C-alpha cells in the first residue's frame, strides 16, 4: 500500500465566508474541499455561528507548499478581521495526484 | 511560518450531553470548541443519535495538560455512563495563545 | 494515562453510498463509525453533494490491519466508480478494545 504524505488543514469560520474562502483556497492550489456545518465558541467566549447561518468547518488536504500559502492567507486576510480557527495535521492519502 | 504543537481532542456523544460537556471542558481550560452534528454506531452496535436529537462531534484544540485533564474527566464521568467515543491527534496552530 | 495508537480513516462520499459503505466497513472489522453531513468539490471541480441528499463524511478509528483492508476496498470498489475522498491520520485512544 503506497501512501503519500499530505497536510490536512481544518478551518472554522462563519458560514457567510464560505464563498470567499473557497475562492481564495482554490486559487492557492487546493484541488478539493469538504465542508460541514458547525457551531462553537472561541477564546473570547463568543458563541459564533448560533445566529446568521452558523459556522462552517472546511477541510482541505494539500501539499506543504499549498498549506503554507493558505496559512499565510489566513494570517493576513482573515485572522485580523474575523472569528476564525485553524489547525493542521499530518495525513496520508492513496492517490496523491488528487491532493 | 511559526507553528506550535497542540492536541486535537475529538469527542462524539449524544447531543443531550452538549451543555454539560461544554461546561466541563471549558472549566478544565479549553478556550474554544467546534461542534458538528453527527450520527453513528459504537462497538456494541448501538445506532446512537438516530433518536432524540442525534449525536454531536466536539473538537477542542488544547495543550497536553488540558488534554490529560479532559481525558481523565471522560474516563471518570462519561465513559462509564454514556455511549461516547474519543480520539486524540497531534496538530499544529499558528496562534498558540488561543489554544 | 495509557494511550494506544490507532488510525483515523476519514471518507467523504455521496450520501447515497452510506448504507453500502457502512456494511462494507463493518464487515472488514470497524467496530464503530461517526457520520457527519458535508458538501464540497473534488479535483475535477464537481460540486458533489449539492444535489441528491448531499455528501457524508465517515470517520472510523481502527487498527493498521483494518485500515489496510478499508483502503484496499476503496481502491477496488469505490474510487473507480464514485467521487470519493479519503485520508488517514494517526490518533490515540484510551480504550483500545473498542477500536
Domain with A10 in it: what CATH number?
Answer: 3.30.70.120
pLDDT at A75 exceeding the cut of 70:
yes
User: Is B97 contained in some domain?
Assistant: no
User: Is A96 contained in some domain?
Assistant: no
User: Is C98 contained in some domain?
Assistant: no
Q: B94 falls in which pLDDT band (50, 70, 90)?
A: very high
Euclidean distance between CA atoms C21 and C60, whole angstroms: 11
Domain count for chain A, please give it. Answer: 1
User: Is B98 contained in some domain?
Assistant: no
Torsion of CA C74, C77, C80, C85, to 10 degrees: -30
pLDDT at B51 exceeding the cut of 90:
no
Euclidean distance between CA atoms B83 and A81, whole angstroms: 39
C-alpha cell at B24: 466541563
User: Is C29 contained in some domain?
Assistant: yes
- Rounded to a whole number of angstroms, the distance from the CA of C57 to the nearest CA of chain B is 9
pTM over 0.90: yes
> pLDDT tens-digit profile of A28-62?
999 999 999 999 998 875 555 555 568 999 999 99
- R_g over Cα of chain A: 14
Backbone angles phi, psi at C73, to 5 degrees: -60, -50
Distances (CA, A) of C9 to A13, A45, C61: 24, 32, 6
Cβ–Cβ < 8 Å for B95, A79: yes
Residues in chain C predicted with pLDDT less than 50, given as ranges, are none
Q: A65 falls in which pLDDT band (50, 70, 90)?
A: very high
Question: DSSP class of residue B42?
Answer: -
Euclidean distance between CA atoms B69 and A28, whole angstroms: 38
Region A78-88: mean pLDDT is 94
Euclidean distance between CA atoms B44 and B91, whole angstroms: 30
Region B68-95: mean pLDDT is 96
- Residue B53: its pLDDT value, please? 66
Q: Find where cell 474575523 sits.
A: A82
User: Is A98 contained in some domain?
Assistant: no
Taking CB atoms and an 8 Å limit, are C32 and B40 in contact across chains? yes
User: Is C73 contained in some domain?
Assistant: yes
pLDDT at B49 exceeding the cut of 60:
no
Residues of B with CB under 8 A from a CB of C: 12, 36-43, 55, 57, 68, 71-72, 74-75, 79, 85-90
- Residue B45: its pLDDT value, please? 57
- Rounded to a whole number of angstroms, the distance from the CA of A98 to the nearest CA of chain C is 6
What ranges make up the beta strands (E) of chain C?
Answer: 4-14, 33-41, 47-48, 55-62, 84-93
Subunits that touch chain B (at least 3 Cβ pairs < 8 angstroms)?
A, C
Question: DSSP class of residue B3?
Answer: -
- Residue A52: its pLDDT value, please? 56
* Residues of the domain holding A78: 4-89
Amino acid at each position: 500500500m503506497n501512501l503519500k504524505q499530505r497536510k490536512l488543514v481544518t478551518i472554522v469560520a462563519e458560514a457567510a465566508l464560505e464563498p470567499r474562502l473557497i475562492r481564495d483556497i482554490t486559487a492557492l492550489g487546493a484541488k478539493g474541499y469538504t465542508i460541514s456545518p458547525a457551531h462553537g465558541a472561541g477564546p473570547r467566549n463568543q458563541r459564533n455561528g448560533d445566529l446568521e447561518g452558523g459556522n462552517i468547518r472546511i477541510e482541505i488536504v494539500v501539499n506543504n507548499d499549498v498549506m503554507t500559502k493558505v496559512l499565510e492567507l489566513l494570517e493576513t486576510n482573515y485572522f485580523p478581521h474575523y472569528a476564525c480557527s485553524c489547525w493542521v495535521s499530518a495525513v496520508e492519502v492513496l492517490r496523491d495526484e488528487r491532493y
